[in-house]
Amino acid sequence: MSAASAPPPAEHLDVLIIGVGVSGIGAGHYLKTGLLSKSFAILEARGASGGTWDLFRYPGVRSDSDLHTFGYAFRPWRDEEAIATAPRILTYLRETATESGLDRHTRYHHKVVSASWPTERARWTVRVEHPGTGERTTLT
């Protein structure tokens, strides 16, 4: 293999979050506010945040849980309707991600294609593909 065709070196991060949905946004917020010295990225295979609340768009989709309980402790649900529609939940999630400064940590169109844990290295090796270009990168 020539140097010109060698894959780029792996990028190392302290934490890698898969998905910028409810859990990914919550995890990112706590990393950003509680573990300031840790480097992290949030990978999202699709081109939009919100997870389930962005993916499913059928008429009438809404929460079956009380959003006052389901919402984040660090950013409580303030809407009067406790059982909310998907668009309202999606707005809440996206506003939360933006207010938490997660936009610059989120990498859209980054699909995880494999993850392995070599015991001798004690570190995850994650292979990522850009669905549009097929370009592959490695993160540890």
Sequence spans of domains, the chain: 9-139
Pick the CATH number of 9-139 from 3.50.50.60, 3.40.190.10, 3.40.640.10, 2.60.40.10: 3.50.50.60
At 9 the pLDDT is 83
What is the rounded distance in angstroms from the CA atom of residue 78 to the CA atom of residue 48? 24
Helices 22-34 & 86-99, crossing angle to 10 degrees? 20
| pLDDT, tens digit only, all 140 positions of the chain | 555 666 678 899 999 999 999 999 999 999 999 998 999 999 999 999 999 899 988 888 889 888 888 899 999 999 888 899 999 999 999 999 999 999 999 999 999 999 999 899 899 999 999 988 999 999 99
**Tokens coding 60:** 């009438």
At 80 the pLDDT is 86
Mapped onto helix, strand or coil, the DSSP state of residue 72 is: strand
What is the rounded distance in angstroms from the CA atom of residue 31 to the CA atom of residue 104? 14
